[in-house]
Amino acid sequence: MTTGLHAPVAARVSGPERRRRLHLARNFASLLVLLIVIVQVYPLVWLFVTSLRPAQEFAGGNAFGIPSALTWDNYARAFASADLGRYIFNSLVVTGASSILIVLLGMMAAYAIQVLGFKGSRIVMGAFLLGIIVPVQIALVPLFINYSRVGLLNTYQSMIIPLVGFALPTSVYLFVSFFEYIPKETYEAAALDGAGPFRVFFEITMPLSTNTVITVVFVNGIFIWNDFIFANTFVFEETMKTIPLGLQNFIGAMGSVDWTATFAAVCVTVTPLLLVFLIMNKAIIYGLESGATKG
């Protein structure tokens, strides 16, 4: 009886204490998130501000201070000192073609593995997953030898083929995981209506996979856009260089670097990725959640 009489009093006493602790926990979480955002955003803000700082001020003053003036001359010098437009075009071609192939091949492979479910599909899926642990460096020498024999060096294909090949395992896994969410009754109803596998794929599976497609394109697009190892190995001609290779041109004699022009060039290369993420961040996050979780 005593315990029963004192229980409400204990609850009333502990209630404010629990709310106070909850309030402190929320404030701590908010402070932690704010700190993480500052750490992530500050380098980008500093990069953009420095790209507008006069070159003389950056060389002789405080690189982390507030600039006394802003100028667009760094951007003009960046485009004048290197063929930045050509590098951006090459990166767009490689990124666009690679992304299209990754989505089509990855989605079709996942459709065959998860939806059609042919004999040995799990073994094929396991082979794709093993591809995730294969380092890209072991393929450089064999690819270089084969490319030199068939005349693929200094071409878009020399960069696109390995980029697509090494991105397929992760893409197939994301699509397979997402296809598990699509009810089998949907495919059965389509089959009763006379729809074949190709019609089901193009009219049902693809439209339902929009968010996962956006996620696959963005996640792989970041690595493809910033790829250096394949481009540096298989491309030698100036007209075929992508942005990561083109940024090397800002290194002058004796290793001197026009830093403000370099920062301006980096801003030009980073901005497209930031804009795409800001516009499609909800679809990207939803695609990651639906493609990487189950249940």
**Angle (nearest 5°) at CA 221 between 287 and 149:** 135
The rounded mean pLDDT for the chain is 81
Rounded to whole angstroms, how far apart are CA atoms 76 and 86?
15
pLDDT digits (tens, 9 = 90+) for 203-229: 888 888 888 888 888 888 888 998 999
On whether both 153 and 17 belong to a single domain, the answer is: no
On whether both 215 and 261 belong to a single domain, the answer is: yes
Please answer whether residues 103 and 217 qualify as being in contact, where contact means their C-beta atoms are separated by less than 8 angstroms: yes
On whether both 88 and 231 belong to a single domain, the answer is: yes
Q: Assess if residue 134 is contained within a domain.
A: yes
Pick the more confident residue, 116 or 253. 116
What residues make up the domain containing 122?
A: 77-292
Q: What percent of the chain has pLDDT over 70?
A: 86
On whether both 40 and 119 belong to a single domain, the answer is: no
On whether both 140 and 261 belong to a single domain, the answer is: yes
Look up the CATH number of the domain holding residue 156: 1.10.3720.10
Q: Assess if residue 25 is contained within a domain.
A: yes
At 121, the amino acid letter reads S
pLDDT of 95: 93
Q: Assess if residue 111 is contained within a domain.
A: yes
On whether both 128 and 34 belong to a single domain, the answer is: no
On whether both 121 and 266 belong to a single domain, the answer is: yes
On whether both 43 and 119 belong to a single domain, the answer is: no
| pLDDT tier at 90, thresholds 50, 70, 90 | very high
On whether both 159 and 20 belong to a single domain, the answer is: no
Q: Assess if residue 235 is contained within a domain.
A: yes
pLDDT digits (tens, 9 = 90+) for 153-181: 999 999 999 999 999 999 998 898 888 88
On whether both 213 and 85 belong to a single domain, the answer is: yes
- Please give the helix or strand (H or E) that residue 195 lies within, else none: none
The structural domain count of the chain equals: 2
On whether both 161 and 93 belong to a single domain, the answer is: yes
pLDDT digits (tens, 9 = 90+) for 178-195: 888 888 888 888 888 787
pLDDT of 94: 95
On whether both 87 and 152 belong to a single domain, the answer is: yes
Can you list the alpha helix ranges (DSSP code H) found in 151-258? 156-179, 184-192, 197-200, 206-208, 210-225, 229-234, 243-246
